[in-house]
Structure 1
Amino acid sequence: MSSRTVFLFPGLGAYSTGVLRRARLNHRQVDETFREIDEVAAERGLPPVSALLFHDRPLTIQEMLAEPAELLQLAIFGTSMATHRILVGHGLEPDLLVGHSFGEMAALVAAGAFSLADGARLVCARCDALRDWEGRGVMAAIGTNETAAGHLPGALDEPDLVIGCLNAPRQTVLSGPAAAVDRAELVAKALDLPFARLQLPYASHHPAMRPAVATFVELMAGIRQLPLQRPVHSPIHLRRYTDDDDLKQALAECLVLPVLFTRTVRDLHASGYQNFVEAGALNTLTRCVELTVPGVRTEAPLIDPERESEGLSAAASTSPARQHTAPVAVPHEAGDSAAAVVAPAAPQRVPEQRAAEPVSREQVLRELRELYAAALEYPPDVLTEEVLLEAELGVDSLKQTSLLNRVVERFDLASSSDRMRVWELPTLGHIADHVVTRSGQQVMS
């Protein structure tokens, strides 16, 4: 008997520059999905989401964040919905749908509980409900387990610091005031634990946001709940939804309750679910699954923006999981973020600084290879400039963030005004190009 398949719908970190541009050429579902979403955006006086994604050049995450919050969130929601439609159109019918945080809305729409247009309206209502909470708290991923992370609020005497998400055995997301998270970061550095702020505007999954629950419910009043056509399991409520549930109330409660993704994955695996497919950009959730229950089949069809159609076809196939040909070392502090992780623009400096003489791209690449080989315990010849660090070598984004911090220090990039984002730097070649460009050093042939 074949094992059962889960579609995973990621949260607010699931944006990748240029996402779906390649898939759009071969799959009509992309334009069909965003046509409906653009109509909802127009209701609110917003520009078309499709224009931001598919016209002219692809927008970076920083550029998307400069737009009204609804546009980025509708883009993430639409990416999940288009991916789901394409995979089902290929003949892959999921046995279960699971959404992570913000992704629960996409999971419920994919299950038929809400129309696509009303799903887009749910996204907009959520933005409205959280408008007053923007900038009032932060979230950060720390590469340690629930028990260790759970000691931080007491040890730091920071009762407003809470665990917002449990994503993998050694990946926990903290939520709380910026000052409390800053103190937690100092502890993480002292213990040599990976730590990264998440690029999110809210301290989600925090009990202090309880007033937003009632606001969200009120804003959803005109949206009609429909019968479920596919089963949906919530990693927040830890059960399957039913038609007897008030799903709008359940979505509102997701604003303040923690995401227990690790427990959910283990429970599903024990129940016979062996195939996990990321219905959205990047591979944040499938990587968490791999770290939680090694050996299962995972597919992240949009991980490589140059091969989206091939990725979608592979994910829809029933052939055995693709295996990495390179050796994969599992870092002792491995863990993935609840959202795409970024390296801070100005991390703490190390005493030894790099000389200011010009450096060639070849020299930068050589130093990068040495740094990554030592940190990851890979043979240097595996670390070619083309190999995909996450998709092919399994280096999770939280580990990559720690390494990018070292790159910033090594090449004295702390004065750079932008940030190094792991999803925009998937290979050593990309990182080398970024270093040479941002350092302002002359490229020597």
Structure 2
Amino acid sequence: MSARTVLLFPGLGAYSTGMLRQAAGEHPEVARTFAELDRAAAEHGVPSVAQAVLRDEPRPIREMLALPTEVLQLAIFGASVVTHRVLAAAGLRPYALLGHSFGEMAALVAAGAFSLAEGVHLVCARAEALSDWEGRGAMAAIGANEAVARHLIGAMDEPDLAVGCLNAPRQTVISGPVEAIDRAGQVAKALELFYAKLHLPYASHHPSARPAVARFVGLMAGIEQKPLEHRVYSPVHGRWYTDADDLKFAIAECMVLPVRFTDAVRDLHSSGATVFVESGALNALTRCVELTVPGVRTVAPLLDPADETGGLRRALAGEADVRPQRTDTASAVVAPVAPLAPVEIPAAREPEAVVAPMMGKDAVLAKLRALYAAALEYPEDALTEKALLEAELGVDSLKQTALLSRVVEEFGLPDRPGELRVWELPSLGAIADHVMGVERVLS
């Protein structure tokens, strides 16, 4: 491939139910990598990750969260490493590797600085180092640039809030104590700024976690870094890593320093990078790239579990994922309104005390189509039962989160708004099945 390709290694949250199952049927690197990962994980007392990801029935995120913390984190880490291995085995030689937060460890393993077994050690050590911070903090995404986010924090006079990540021109993640994050949400909504609390157990990229840095470094004792085989750019440190860097300390610092992903993408693009590939599940990072440098080619190979082999082929060819474009034809699939802008959602009815009377699936789908069509300005016939909201219709995950909160209100579901996981409900059909499942339990 002649284009300069950047591999993107996502952070925590990049888990998709059923990921890698189709790819495993065609690429032996998947099974080999997870077998190697399991051997290393067993030394840390972690149960089989391969069993959870590849051999059991596909596990939704709620079931993964019920397992030891390291299982989900190693599943995300393993998906990133194996995606790189599959692409490398097929001949891809990336221009650069770019990890986001937790993803820096996978990027450095892919670059050869650490072995896979050492990467497993890093993941387990990081989880242990941060264990005392679980439940003490939170993070939230705001549909605003850095300046607006900092003005919001200043106007609230919340010194414990900090900017944690700059993901796209209009997506800033703030970090801090749970109560302060919740108050920031109230202010953001009053200002009509998009707001979504993230499903993370602690306040990453926050100065209060500084003691965890020393603990993490101590837990990494005995691991020796090796020469880099690929160029790795750090969005936290804002530069290329070199063999002269203490990479263990560098990734420990990533826990408390902000992630300036937008700046990193612009730097790489200005140096000639034209293709960005998500080395892991979903497409959180490629969507941020599209918002930051419009017009570049992006590929998210594992976004659609039914088309992973096709996605990997597109990544090797440097072919951009095709997204629908806005048109004036009423029956055509249209692109969404600019992601991260305030979502115009029809006024909610008063929530019902219990779920609505049992409905047939056709009736549930009809209500969902009407709701989503009105909110997104889509024609209803584009919102088919199986159409993937993000992969096929281009509805970003933050907008889906807002719409799922509206679904909870519309159907009187007992789910707490914001707690439904968009990656578990990727289509209207999946959402309808969830609604009907709740109805059956409560009826």
3-state SS of 1:307 partner? helix
Confirm or deny: 8 A CA contact 2:197 2:418 kept in the other structure.
no
Confirm or deny: 8 A CA contact 2:386 2:427 kept in the other structure.
yes
Which AA in structure 1 matches 2:240? Answer: R
1:341 is matched with: none
TM-score by length of 1: 0.92
Q: Deviation string for 1:175-201 (max 9, x for gaps)?
A: 100000010111122233332221112
Give the stretch that moved more between structures: 409-418 or 62-71: 409-418
Give the stretch that moved more between structures: 206-215 or 266-275: 266-275
Confirm or deny: 8 A CA contact 1:8 1:276 kept in the other structure.
yes
> Partners in 2 of 1:321 and 1:272 — Cα distance?
20
1:345 is matched with: none
Q: Deviation string for 1:116-174 (max 9, x for gaps)?
A: 11111111111111111111111111222212211222222211011100111111111
> Partners in 2 of 1:122 and 1:90 — Cα distance?
27
3-state SS of 1:408 partner? helix
> Partners in 2 of 1:19 and 1:382 — Cα distance?
26
Confirm or deny: 8 A CA contact 1:262 1:292 kept in the other structure.
yes
1:328 pairs with 2:299: no
Confirm or deny: 8 A CA contact 2:137 2:202 kept in the other structure.
yes
Where do 1:57-76 residues align within 5 Å?
57-76=57-76
> Partners in 1 of 2:417 and 2:142 — Cα distance?
25
> Partners in 2 of 1:332 and 1:118 — Cα distance?
38
> Partners in 2 of 1:154 and 1:100 — Cα distance?
26
> Partners in 1 of 2:415 and 2:271 — Cα distance?
51
2:328 is matched with: none
1:37 is matched with: 37
The alignment covers a number of residue pairs equal to 431
> Structure 1 residues 47 and 425, CA, compared in 2 at 3 Å: closer, same or farther?
same
- What is the CA-CA distance between 1:414 and the residue it aligns to? 3.0
- What is the CA-CA distance between 1:202 and the residue it aligns to? 1.4
> Partners in 1 of 2:415 and 2:32 — Cα distance?
43
Confirm or deny: 8 A CA contact 2:266 2:293 kept in the other structure.
yes
1:390 is matched with: 390
Where do 1:165-204 residues align within 5 Å?
165-204=165-204
- What is the CA-CA distance between 1:2 and the residue it aligns to? 4.1
> Partners in 2 of 1:59 and 1:356 — Cα distance?
28
Structure 1 stretches lacking a partner, 5+ long = 336-347
Where do 1:29-428 residues align within 5 Å?
29-319=29-319, 322-324=322-324, 326-331=333-338, 333-334=340-341, 350-351=349-350, 353=352, 356-414=356-414, 419-428=419-428
Q: Deviation string for 1:206-248 (max 9, x for gaps)?
A: 0111111111111111101000000000000010000110101
> Partners in 2 of 1:146 and 1:188 — Cα distance?
14
- What is the CA-CA distance between 1:67 and the residue it aligns to? 1.5
3-state SS of 2:196 partner? strand
> Partners in 2 of 1:330 and 1:196 — Cα distance?
18
Give the stretch that moved more between structures: 406-415 or 78-87: 406-415
> Partners in 2 of 1:319 and 1:195 — Cα distance?
33
Q: Deviation string for 1:317-365 (max 9, x for gaps)?
A: 2446535363213336349xxxxxxxxxxxx985365994432221221
> Structure 1 residues 96 and 413, CA, compared in 2 at 3 Å: closer, same or farther?
same
TM-score by length of 2: 0.92
3-state SS of 2:127 partner? helix
Which AA in structure 2 matches 1:218? Answer: G
> Partners in 2 of 1:188 and 1:350 — Cα distance?
22
4+ runs of 1 displaced by more than 6 Å? none
Q: Deviation string for 1:242-281 (max 9, x for gaps)?
A: 0110101101110100000111112221221110000000
Confirm or deny: 8 A CA contact 1:436 1:442 kept in the other structure.
no
> Partners in 2 of 1:406 and 1:234 — Cα distance?
38
- What is the CA-CA distance between 1:38 and the residue it aligns to? 0.8
3-state SS of 2:21 partner? coil
> Structure 1 residues 440 and 423, CA, compared in 2 at 3 Å: closer, same or farther?
same
> Partners in 2 of 1:87 and 1:267 — Cα distance?
24
> Structure 1 residues 441 and 411, CA, compared in 2 at 3 Å: closer, same or farther?
farther
> Partners in 2 of 1:83 and 1:57 — Cα distance?
21
Structure 2 stretches lacking a partner, 5+ long = 326-332
> Partners in 1 of 2:106 and 2:442 — Cα distance?
47
1:18 pairs with 2:25: no
Confirm or deny: 8 A CA contact 2:161 2:174 kept in the other structure.
yes
> Partners in 2 of 1:252 and 1:361 — Cα distance?
49
Q: RMSD in angstroms over aligned alpha carbons?
A: 2.2
Confirm or deny: 8 A CA contact 2:162 2:174 kept in the other structure.
yes
